Structures are given as structure tokens and as C-alpha cells.
């Protein structure tokens, strides 16, 4: 088989392929064997009729046509691998010779992955959550702990946020009471936003003995008729927090002092915030990189990414024993609206893919053959495969280029996350050392040895 590649416009190439008669005859022979299984020939068992008799009865064109239909994708795939063409869409194939006899010739025009500009990648400024909790945030968490042990005290004043209001509540929809929203002596935390926001709006400023009536939008957006509320206020109570002293720490935590309690709270919060910040570095860097891409993205690549995400969702639902149709009904979506919902993140993912390839090229991060051999050896190790055999199998199906691209993109993302300017929500620079987890275990061991 011989093939050539020609670059066209609009991110396309044309593969011109010629399959010699001897090679194509193998496909024709296989085609007649398939045909033999589908027809009955007197004196022969199914599938055993010889090719010459089938050609005599049905004509050689039948086998040739079947061979073209079955073998064409394989010939095309071989040409793609031979010329290392990075295709992103199905080809348009035109047979140019050999339909009746002689060598088979065809042209395949196919869209390829484009190169894009990611100008400005080396000066990205990425915002992430501050990995260090502020004193105010630590105080708020300690106050939350104190609230768990607060005592409620009746007050003779208007209700304010964080007060507990004892109410009789009745909610109706139409003329029917709403289950769960009609009860007496209900302890409602003002400002909690529970049920519907209108409850908070109408209870702020009330006092014991007040009655309020109001309407509120139904939580179900498909319900046009609002809910009607009637509330009687019985008591207003404020939460009296326990004093923050060593006695509180001893009674309500594993620590002997407030200082130790605060230090532990800070450690826990900082650990969580460091995790969040490190995740944000990856995600926000990718988003910032995608924003640099202004080149037009092939629609085929976006559609491929949307389909991949839908297929991933379908597989996860099936693994959980869920029916896809039932899931779509439950979330109020159709296949079309789901695809539309996936479109924006799919387009961003394609831009990130293309931009990372560009960064890898510009920074010289595309792995050489030696690095590819190292990675293949690592892949082969756990299963005891021979690295050379694994490499040959990967090359046979055109996966060496895909592996090289994946490694290049990983290296590009690592380079970016190491080199972008990191700032917090206030625009203040973040030192990368703040993103490292403290080696608490090592420090404790060192202290014990001393």
C-alpha cells in the first residue's frame, strides 16, 4: 500500500492511498468468505462454498464491493498512522480508481487538530483562595463551636438575625395546607434562610405576640400560585454564648487551653484551605489559559468533547444502575438541553488542550524518544510486559503520538502552575511556600526526641 499526504486549507489534509491488487485481493477473499456464510449453495455446507463458484453465480463485483466497504477504514487508518496525522473528525472518502479491477485508489480529506496562539501564557495572573486563614475566620469558627453550647434566653425586644423565634406557622397552597410547613411551637433560627427567604424578611423586627401574614414564591418554579403564610410569634430568644476561656476548652474539646484550641482550629482550617488553594491553582490556571485562545475552534472538536462527556455520564449512571431516560426526567432535561449545558465547558476543555500543546512546543517540553521509552518501560513494569513489545503494539495502533502529546500537555501544565503569578481575592501576592502542607508529624517527632 502506498500513500501520500497533502496539506489543504481550513485545517485539513488529503490522504491519497493506493492499494495494490495483491493486497486488495486478500480483502476480496475475506469478503467472499463472509458472503458464503449468508447464502446457500447446493452441495456445500454454509460458509464452505468456494470463491470461484460464488463469483460465477453473483459476479466478482459483489465481492469487490463488499471488500471496499469493509477494508477501506483499515487502509485509511494505516495511512493516518504512517503519516502521523492528528485527525479530529471522520474523513470524506472518494474512491478514484479500482472499483471494478486493478489497484484500489482513494482520497480521504480529513480535518486535523489546529495550532492556536496562547500569547501571554508566560505572564498569567491567577487568582486563588488565600491558603492561610485570617484571625477573623478562625474567630468565626470558634464562635460556631461556642454556638453549639449556647443557652437560649427569652428577651423582651424585637427579633434580629441569629435569634431563635418560637412560632406557630401555617402555610397553604391554594386552599390546602402544605405538609411540613404547618406546625406549632416551631423553633426558627432567624437569618438561616430555611424554607423560603420571605420568612426571614417578615420575622425581622417582630416581637412576642405579633402575627404576620404574607405570600411567598413556591419553591417549585413550575408552580405559578404562591404559598400563603400565617405566623404567630410566641417568644424571641437570644443565644447566650459561653465565655471563651480555658474552662470552656477543657469542657468542650480535647484541649486544656483556649490557646491550644485556637492553634488546632487554625491548623485544621489552613490544611483545608491549602487543599482548596492547590486545586484552584490547576483549575484557575486552565481557565486563564483558555481565555487566551482567540482562534476559531473547530466545531467537530467541541462536538467530540460534548459527546465524550455525555458518554461518561451515561456510563456512570449505568454503573449505579440508573436508567438514563429516568435520570433526564428527574433533573428536568432532555438530551438536547444536556448537550447544550455541556457545550461551554467542552469548548473550554478544547481550548485548554490546544493551548497546552502550544505552550509545550514553545517551551521545548515535548518529550523526545528516550523519554517515551522510559514511560513505556514504566507502563510495562507492573504487568511484566516486554517494553519493546508494548511499544510495538502502541505504534501499530498509532498511540505513540497520543502518549507524546499527553506527556507534553502534563509538562506544560506543570510549567504553568510553577510560573503563573498567584494572587488572593484581594489581589495580594501568594508565596508558593504557603501552598505546602506543614510537616506536623516530623515536627512532633522532633519535639519528642528532644
Task: Count the Cβ atoms, other than its own, within 10 Å of residue 312.
Answer: 10
**Burial class, 174, CB count within 10 angstroms (exposed 0-12 / middle 13-18 / buried 19+):** exposed
> Is residue 445's pLDDT more than 80?
no
Does the pLDDT value for residue 341 go beyond 70?
Answer: yes
What is the total count of domains within the chain? 3
pLDDT of residue 61: 77
Query: What is the model's pTM?
Result: 0.78
Q: CATH number of the domain that 171 lies in?
A: 3.10.50.40
pLDDT at 17 over 90: yes
State how far the Cα of 117 lies from the Cα of 140, in Å rounded to an integer. Answer: 46
pLDDT for residue 51 is more than 80: no
Section 31-57 average pLDDT: 71
Same structural domain, 223 and 263:
no
Task: State the pLDDT at residue 443.
Answer: 47
User: Worst-scoring range by mean pLDDT, 25-39, 171-185, 209-223, 342-356?
Assistant: 25-39
Whether the per-residue pLDDT at 229 is higher than 70: the answer is yes
pLDDT tens column, 59-74: 677 888 888 988 999 9
Per-residue pLDDT reduced to its tens digit, 174-217: 889 998 899 999 999 999 988 889 999 999 999 999 999 999 98
Residue 199: inside a domain, yes or no? yes
Distances (CA, A) of 270 to 131, 266, 275, 281, 446: 6, 6, 8, 16, 22
Residue 40 has pLDDT above 80, yes or no: no
Q: Are residues 304 and 217 in the same domain?
A: no
d(CA 218, CA 211): 21
* pLDDT tens-digit map of 271-293: 999 999 999 999 999 999 999 99
Domain end, chosen from 206, 240, 274, is at 240
Pair (439, 404) in one structural domain = yes
Q: Which long-range contacts (CB under 8 A, 24 or more apart) does 418-424 make?
A: 419/122, 420/124, 420/125, 420/126, 420/281, 420/285, 420/288, 421/123, 421/124, 421/125, 421/126, 422/126, 422/128, 422/281, 423/125, 423/126, 423/127, 423/128, 424/127, 424/128, 424/129, 424/130
Confidence of residue 442 (pLDDT cuts 50, 70, 90): very low
Range of the domain at 432: 258-449
Residue 190 lies in a domain: yes
Residue 246: inside a domain: no
The mean pLDDT value for 407-432 works out to 96
Among 172, 205, 240, identify where a domain stops. 240
Residues 106 and 162 in one domain: no
The CATH number that applies at residue 300 is 1.10.3120.10
pLDDT in tens, 357-375: 999 999 999 999 999 999 9
The pLDDT score that the predictor gives to residue 174 is 87
Query: Both 299 and 227 in a single domain?
Result: no
Q: Are residues 16 and 52 in the same domain?
A: yes
Domain end, chosen from 94, 111, 128, is at 111
Percent of the chain exceeding pLDDT 70 equals 94
Is 310 found in the same domain as 218?
no
pLDDT tens-digit series, residues 285-322: 999 999 999 999 999 999 999 999 999 999 999 999 99
Residue 12 in domain: yes
Within-domain flag for 121? no
The CATH number of whichever domain residue 21 belongs to comes to 3.30.70.1050
In the prediction, which pLDDT does 56 show?
65
Average the pLDDT over each of 65-69, 116-120, 253-257, 408-412 and give the range with the smallest value: 65-69
Residues 307 and 390 in one domain: yes
Residues 236 and 284 in one domain: no
| Residue of higher predicted confidence among 324 and 55 | 324
Residues 383 and 438 in one domain: yes
Does residue 289 sit within a domain? yes
313 with 362, same domain: the answer is yes
Residue of higher predicted confidence among 38 and 127: 127
Q: Give the span between the Cα atoms of 302 and 299, in whole angstroms.
A: 5
- 360 lies in a domain? yes
Whether 11 and 110 have beta carbons less than 8 Å apart is answered as no
The answer to whether 334 and 370 are in contact (CB under 8 A) is no
Question: Residue 223: its pLDDT value, please?
Answer: 82
Are 426 and 349 found together in one domain?
Answer: yes
- The pLDDT of residue 34: 80
| pLDDT band, residue 18 (cuts 50/70/90) | very high
* Average pLDDT over all residues of the chain: 91
Burial zone of 409 (CB within 10 Å; 0-12 exposed, 13-18 middle, 19+ buried): buried
Q: Does residue 157 have a pLDDT over 80?
A: yes
Amino acid at each position: 500500500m502506498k500513500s501520500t499526504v497533502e496539506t489543504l486549507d481550513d485545517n485539513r489534509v488529503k490522504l491519497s492511498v493506493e492499494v495494490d491488487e495483491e493486497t486488495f485481493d486478500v480483502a476480496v477473499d475475506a469478503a467472499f468468505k463472509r458472503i458464503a456464510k449468508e447464502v446457500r449453495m447446493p452441495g456445500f455446507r454454509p460458509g464452505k462454498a468456494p470463491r470461484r463458484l460464488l463469483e460465477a453465480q453473483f459476479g466478482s463485483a459483489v465481492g469487490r464491493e463488499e471488500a471496499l466497504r469493509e477494508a477501506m477504514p483499515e487502509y485509511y487508518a494505516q495511512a493516518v498512522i504512517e503519516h502521523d496525522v492528528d485527525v479530529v473528525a471522520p474523513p470524506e472518502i472518494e474512491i478514484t480508481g479500482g472499483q471494478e479491477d486493478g489497484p484500489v485508489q482513494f482520497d480521504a480529506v480529513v480535518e486535523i487538530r489546529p495550532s492556536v496562539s496562547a500569547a501571554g501564557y508566560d505572564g498569567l495572573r491567577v487568582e486563588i483562595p488565600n491558603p492561610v486563614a485570617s484571625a477573623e475566620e478562625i474567630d468565626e469558627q470558634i464562635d460556631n463551636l461556642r454556638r453549639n453550647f449556647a443557652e437560649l434566653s427569652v428577651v423582651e425586644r424585637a427579633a434580629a438575625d441569629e435569634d431563635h423565634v418560637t412560632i406557630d406557622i401555617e402555610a397553604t397552597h391554594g386552599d390546602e395546607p402544605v405538609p411540613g410547613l404547618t406546625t406549632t411551637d416551631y423553633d426558627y433560627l432567624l437569618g438561616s434562610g430555611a424554607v423560603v427567604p420571605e420568612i426571614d424578611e417578615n420575622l425581622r423586627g417582630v416581637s412576642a405576640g405579633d402575627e404576620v401574614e404574607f405570600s411567598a414564591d413556591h419553591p417549585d418554579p413550575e408552580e405559578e400560585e404562591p404559598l400563603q403564610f400565617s405566623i404567630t410569634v410566641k417568644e424571641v430568644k437570644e443565644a447566650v454564648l459561653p465565655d471563651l476561656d480555658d474552662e470552656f476548652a477543657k469542657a468542650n474539646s480535647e484541649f486544656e487551653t483556649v490557646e491550644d484550641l485556637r492553634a488546632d482550629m487554625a491548623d485544621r482550617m489552613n490544611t483545608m484551605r491549602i487543599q482548596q488553594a492547590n486545586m484552584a491553582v490547576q483549575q484557575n490556571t486552565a481557565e486563564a489559559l483558555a481565555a487566551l485562545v482567540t482562534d476559531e475552534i473547530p466545531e467537530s472538536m467541541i462536538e467530540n468533547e460534548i459527546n465524550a462527556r455525555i458518554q461518561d455520564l451515561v456510563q456512570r449512571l449505568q454503573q449505579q444502575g440508573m436508567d438514563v431516560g429516568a435520570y433526564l426526567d428527574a433533573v428536568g432535561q432532555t438530551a438536547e438541553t444536556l448537550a447544550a449545558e455541556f457545550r461551554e465547558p467542552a469548548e473550554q476543555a478544547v481550548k485548554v488542550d490546544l493551548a497546552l500543546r502550544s505552550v509545550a512546543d514553545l517551551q521545548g517540553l515535548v518529550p523526545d524518544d528516550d523519554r517515551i521509552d522510559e514511560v513505556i518501560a514504566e507502563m510495562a513494569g507492573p504487568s511484566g510486559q516486554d517494553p519493546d513489545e508494548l511499544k510495538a503494539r502502541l505504534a501499530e495502533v498509532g498511540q505513540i503520538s497520543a502518549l507524546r502529546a499527553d506527556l507534553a500537555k502534563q509538562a506544560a501544565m506543570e510549567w504553568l502552575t510553577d510560573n503563573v503569578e498567584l494572587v488572593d481575592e484581594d489581589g495580594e501576592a501568594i508565596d508558593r511556600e504557603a501552598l505546602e502542607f506543614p510537616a506536623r508529624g516530623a515536627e512532633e517527632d522532633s519535639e519528642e526526641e528532644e
